[in-house]
């Protein structure tokens, strides 16, 4: 798998993949109406472009054999020591193959390079599969939030965090493992 920054013109592919992934994965967690509302809001092309240009959020594609199979977005939180994973989604047929774990390691390394102490994310409280994945990758629940997002909908989420290590020997080991994993992943078919 290859992870690379996306160009603005590639955001329409993020929008397309989000539609497929959300409509297949979120029924039963949130209503169909909320799925469509959130897709229209969070994956609006103009909004994603503003996030990149004005907030410094990075959108990256996860590619397997040249085809985008998922995406992530992340960036340093203003005025603090947190780095936020805003989005991480894979097509369901690619779940359970280690690609999500590889993307989490990649984002954690970006957070370390930015000098952050914590990698944080929000996850729907009913998304048990994602919560298990995050826990298996060193995340713990920091807090809970219920946010009104309009039109009678709320996001009922856990805020999860992973403490990042910054000692030099640990960073070297992490970087070595990260590089080996990237080479290994790129070589898989």
Is the pLDDT reported for residue 112 higher than 90? Answer: yes
Percent residues over pLDDT 70 in the chain: 88
Nearest to 85 by CA among 130, 40, 44: 130
pLDDT of residue 23: 99
Q: Provide mean pLDDT across the span 66-86.
A: 96
Q: Which residues, other chains included, contact 9 with Cβ-Cβ below 8 Å and sequence gap of 6+?
A: none
> Structurally, how many domains does the chain consist of?
1
Is the pLDDT reported for residue 184 higher than 70? Answer: no
Is the pLDDT reported for residue 117 higher than 90? Answer: yes
What is the DSSP annotation of 23-53? Answer: HHHSBTTB-HHHHHHHHHHHT-HHHHHHHHH
CATH value at residue 36: 3.40.630.30
pLDDT of residue 80: 80
- Assign 182 a pLDDT band (cuts: 50, 70, 90): very low
Which neighbouring-strand residues pair with 153? 150
Boundaries of domain holding 133: 2-187
pLDDT of residue 181: 46
Q: Provide mean pLDDT across the span 167-172.
A: 48
Opening angle at CA 97, ends 95 and 101, nearest 5? 85
pLDDT of residue 166: 73
| Helical axes 128-136 vs 99-113, angle rounded to 10° | 60
pLDDT of residue 167: 57
118-124, strands of its sheet edge to edge:
2-5, 58-64, 67-76, 82-90, 118-124, 153-163, 140-150
Cβ 5 vs Cβ 34: under 8 Å: no
Is the pLDDT reported for residue 176 higher than 70? Answer: no
Is the pLDDT reported for residue 183 higher than 50? Answer: no
Percent residues over pLDDT 90 in the chain: 85
Question: Which of 36-45, 61-70, 97-106, 163-172 shows the lowest mean pLDDT across its residues?
Answer: 163-172
């Amino acid at each position: 798998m290859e992870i690379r920054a996306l160009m603005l013109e590639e955001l329409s592919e993020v929008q397309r993949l989000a539609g497929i992934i959300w409509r297949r994965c979120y029924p039963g967690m949130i209503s169909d109406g909320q799925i469509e509302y959130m897709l229209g809001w969070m994956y609006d092309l103009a909004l994603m472009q503003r996030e990149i240009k004005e907030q410094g959020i990075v959108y990256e594609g996860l590619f397997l054999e040249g085809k985008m199979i998922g995406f992530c977005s992340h960036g340093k939180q203003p005025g603090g020591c947190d780095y936020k994973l805003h989005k991480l989604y894979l097509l369901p047929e690619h779940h359970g193959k280690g690609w999500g774990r590889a993307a989490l390691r990649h984002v954690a390394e970006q957070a370390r390079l930015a000098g952050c102490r914590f990698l944080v994310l929000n996850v729907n409280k009913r998304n048990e599969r994602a919560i298990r994945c995050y826990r298996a990758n060193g995340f713990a629940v920091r807090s809970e939030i219920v946010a009104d997002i309009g039109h009678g909908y709320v996001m009922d989420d856990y805020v999860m965090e992973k403490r990042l290590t910054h000692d030099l020997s640990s960073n070297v080991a992490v970087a070595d493992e990260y590089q080996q994993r990237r080479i290994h992943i790129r070589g898989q078919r």
